Amino acid sequence: MLLWLLALAIGAEICVTLFLGYLGLEQMPLAWILALAGLTAIPAMAIVPLAASLRAIHLASMRAWSDNPDDSGNRCLANTPDTPTPPPQQPAQD
């Protein structure tokens, strides 16, 4: 999240510098080229950690879901064997 806030702050700083004018930088074509490169590169670099964290969250939730039986006592489909399991045996009563 911090990386996204940094990317938004830098993008806002670039826009303020170019559109509101700052020391004549808005008149230089090189400044516009570098600003456009920065506006596209900074969020693109923030995508990689975001995708990695979303993947880690998804894998952790899938692992937790497969480790917990549902209400009927069965495991999720990811861990069920090919052959059905027999029902639990009731203890013999005397």
In this predicted model, what pLDDT tens digit does every residue of 57-67 receive, in sequence order?
A: 888 888 877 66
Three-class DSSP category at 89: coil
Domain of residue 17 covers 2-65
Specify if 80 maps to a domain. no
Specify if 28 maps to a domain. yes
Specify if 78 maps to a domain. no
Per-residue DSSP letter, 88: P
Specify if 19 maps to a domain. yes
Let me know if 35 is exposed, middle or buried by CB neighbors in 10 A (0-12, 13-18, 19+).
Answer: buried
Q: Kindly report whether the global pTM for this prediction surpasses the value 0.85.
A: no
pLDDT of residue 72: 56
Total domains present in the chain? 1
